[in-house]
């Protein structure tokens, strides 16, 4: 086996490169950038045969080893980390495929401890944090201060509980999860707030949305003094280790397909990914760049459609309602209808929040943090061929900084047609309305040959995008839609779609809710409600000074 020589650098600039360990523990670069590998490694020439019978942990080891030098994590230690991370998953395949139609599959990513796809990455990341800190503290001299990590993350739902379950009771780690008060599902909040471990803090930020919470996290990481004082660590998908772990299940899906459905080099496989923060689908892009045969990745968005508009216009705009209306008007009839929504309009610049609340709340995001990683590669690809690799990287970092500066100041940036064309070589996007989301849940519940199948609203967004994409594509393509959460986590949307008048035999509690989640109802919740960035800072300072604060307590129905 050839040892990896990959290191990591910031998308925003600087010639410094970090080891995998340094990149993971740092999370967000001091200049606000995200860490990416110095190069994308090559697959072994025999990967299609030598990897075809591997278990998920074995496949993880093979792929992760391409990015992690043995000098950073010896192979036996990496195996132990991976095996521990996935030991809690309920399905022996970890991320199994379920067939839902002719040449149509759903990859269920929610068989981990919190019933969401985030477990795949965060169980691994939690073990990485534990491993690195134990090793560092084990090397300390007697009396020397031990290293501690203060993990701060934002969630629109599933990241929070997955991170908490990945880090609960881990030594030398305290975790603070921020989420918009009242804008995650009751069961998602219960999964976070009922964890009793003393190192866990669930922080409900009042009068906020996910983007506000994510902005607070980025501000804290960019505050050099605060970061140094508390040694912040990132669990959001800004942490490269999360993207790396998610690459694996694209390969797993490939190997689970019937051999006749696997690609012979002519792009017969396409993935559809419900997309909010762009990390899940970015992992698919890395899988493609590594060499996994596939066509374009389909970006499935809900009515918060900044990404869908970018792939059609080349403009990345967080607050330009006029451009959204212009784009919808220019779409074909089958996609124009998705402008209809529960309140009949998109968010406007005059709204208190530009994020529209939908039935798929984990995707209610305007600015997708991981999109910056793709933008760097697009800047690199369209920035000219002259100069050394370091010089080309520097030009790409300069272009990216210019784009991100415009986005921050003006809420929008026109990336140009060259960049858009480079992007659509690997992606296309579809926007799905709330009404279409509910229709899709009903459709899959009524499946005859492959059903009934209950899907959550995020998976439904992906399935609606897949159905629309298939109409435009070759009939010999095999489609795999990523299912990101168990339907039990989104009771309101599922029950609304499968209402008693239309489906009188359906009972959500009996037919959908797992026993493990039913038990959450009787557990005490512990929530810390704060106002804005200062409230978050004050809470972290208080906790780190050893001043115990239990937060608000209570029980509530799911």
Active site residues: 118
Closest by Cα among 147, 189, 144 to 164: 189
Q: Determine the Cα–Cα distance for residues 493 and 345; give it in Å rounded to an integer.
A: 20
Cβ contacts of 198 within 8 Å, gap of 6 or more: none
Q: Determine the Cα–Cα distance for residues 377 and 375; give it in Å rounded to an integer.
A: 5
Q: Determine the Cα–Cα distance for residues 64 and 67; give it in Å rounded to an integer.
A: 5
Cα 144–146–147 angle (5° rounding)? 135
Establish whether the linkage from the previous residue to 452 is cis, with ω within 30° of 0. yes
Q: Determine the Cα–Cα distance for residues 48 and 41; give it in Å rounded to an integer.
A: 16
Provide the token pair at 82.
Answer: 């991976």
Q: Looking at 128-265, which runs of residues are DSSP E strands?
A: 149-154, 173-180, 200-205, 232-233
Q: Determine the Cα–Cα distance for residues 480 and 495; give it in Å rounded to an integer.
A: 25
Cα 413–331–102 angle (5° rounding)? 110
In angstroms, how far apart are the furthest CA atoms of the chain?
71
Residue in the block written with tokens 């997955």? 162
- Distances 288 to 59, 148, 276, 425 between C-alpha atoms, Å: 16, 37, 20, 12
Closest by Cα among 13, 8, 40, 9 to 403: 13
Q: Determine the Cα–Cα distance for residues 342 and 358; give it in Å rounded to an integer.
A: 8
How many other CB atoms are there within 10 angstroms of residue 557's CB atom?
Answer: 6
How many alpha carbons fall within 13 Å on the CB side of residue 320?
19
Q: Determine the Cα–Cα distance for residues 194 and 313; give it in Å rounded to an integer.
A: 44
Provide the token pair at 410.
Answer: 């003006």
Cα 200–206–485 angle (5° rounding)? 60
The torsion of the CA quartet 137, 141, 142, 147, rounded to 10 degrees, works out to -30
């Amino acid at each position: 086996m050839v040892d990896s020589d990959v290191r990591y650098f910031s998308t925003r600039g600087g010639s410094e490169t970090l080891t995998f360990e340094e990149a993971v523990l740092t999370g967000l670069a001091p200049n606000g950038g995200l860490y990416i590998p110095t190069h994308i490694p090559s697959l072994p020439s025999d990967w299609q045969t030598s990897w075809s019978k591997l278990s998920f942990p074995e496949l993880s080891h093979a792929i992760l080893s391409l990015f992690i030098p043995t000098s950073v994590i010896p192979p036996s230690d990496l195996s132990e980390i991976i095996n521990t991370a996935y030991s809690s998953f309920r399905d022996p395949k970890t991320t199994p495929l379920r067939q839902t139609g002719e040449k149509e599959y759903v990859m269920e990513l929610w068989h981990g401890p919190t019933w969401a796809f985030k477990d795949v990455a965060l169980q691994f990341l939690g073990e990485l944090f534990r491993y690195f800190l134990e090793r560092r503290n084990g090397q300390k001299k007697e009396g020397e201060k031990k290293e501690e990590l203060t993990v701060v993350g934002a969630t629109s739902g599933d990241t929070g509980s997955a991170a908490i379950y990945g880090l609960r009771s881990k030594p030398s780690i305290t975790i603070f999860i921020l989420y918009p008060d009242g804008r995650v599902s009751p069961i998602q909040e219960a999964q976070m707030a009922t964890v009793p471990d003393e190192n866990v803090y669930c922080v409900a930020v009042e009068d906020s949305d996910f983007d506000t919470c994510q902005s607070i996290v980025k501000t804290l990481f960019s505050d050099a003094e605060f970061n140094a004082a508390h040694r912040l660590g990132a669990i959001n998908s800004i942490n490269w280790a999360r993207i790396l772990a998610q690459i694996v299940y694209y390969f797993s899906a490939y190997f689970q397909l019937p051999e006749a459905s696997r690609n012979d080099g002519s792009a017969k496989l396409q993935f559809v990914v419900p997309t909010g923060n762009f990390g899940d689908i970015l992992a698919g892009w890395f899988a493609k760049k590594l060499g996994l045969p596939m066509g374009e990745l389909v970006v499935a968005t809900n009515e918060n459609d900044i990404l869908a508009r970018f792939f059609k216009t080349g403009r990345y705009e967080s607050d330009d309602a006029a451009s959204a209306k212009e784009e919808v008007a220019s779409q074909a009839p089958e996609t124009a209808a998705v402008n209809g929504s529960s309140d009949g309009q998109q968010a406007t610049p005059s709204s208190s929040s530009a994020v529209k609340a939908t039935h798929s709340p984990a995707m209610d995001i305007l600015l997708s943090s991981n999109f910056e990683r793709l933008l760097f590669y697009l800047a690199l690809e369209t920035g000219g061929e002259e100069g050394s690799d370091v010089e080309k990287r520097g030009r790409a970092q300069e272009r990216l900084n210019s784009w991100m500066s415009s986005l921050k100041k003006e809420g929008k940036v026109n990336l140009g047609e060259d960049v858009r064309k480079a992007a659509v070589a690997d992606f296309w996007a579809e926007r799905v309305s709330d009404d279409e989301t509910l229709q899709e849940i009903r459709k899959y519940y009524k499946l005859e040959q492959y059903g009934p199948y209950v899907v959550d609203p995020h998976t439904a967004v992906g399935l609606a995008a897949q159905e629309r994409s298939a109409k435009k594509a070759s009939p010999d393509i095999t489609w795999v839609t990523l299912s990101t959460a168990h339907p039990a986590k989104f009771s309101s949307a599922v029950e609304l779609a499968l209402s008693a008048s239309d489906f009188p035999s359906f009972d959500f509690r009996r037919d959908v809710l797992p026993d493990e989640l039913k038990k959450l109802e009787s557990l005490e919740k512990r929530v810390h409600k704060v106002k804005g960035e200062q409230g978050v800072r004050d809470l972290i300072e208080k906790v780190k000074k050893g001043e115990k604060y239990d937060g608000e307590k209570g029980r509530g129905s799911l």
